[in-house]
Structure 1
Amino acid sequence: MDEPTETKSLRGKLAELQHDKKVLTATIMVIISLIVLIYLWSNRGGTFMVQACNNNTDKCYTLRAKLSAEWRAAEGTLYFSNGGSLHFTCSEDFGCVDTEDTAWTIHKINRL
Structure 2
Amino acid sequence: MKMNYEENARIIKSLSDSSRLKIIDILSCGEKCACDILQYFDFTQPTLSHHMKVLIESGIIQVRKEGLWNYYQLNVNNCNKLTLFLMNLVTETEECICKDKSNCTCKSKQSV
Query: Which structure carries more helix by proportion?
Result: 2
Q: Which structure exhibits the higher relative contact order, with contacts defined as CA atoms closer than 8 Å and separated by 6 or more residues?
A: 2
TM-score (normalised: structure 2): 0.23
TM-score (normalised: structure 1): 0.23
Query: Which structure carries more strand by proportion?
Result: 1
Q: Between Structure 1 and Structure 2, whose CA radius of gyration is higher?
A: 1
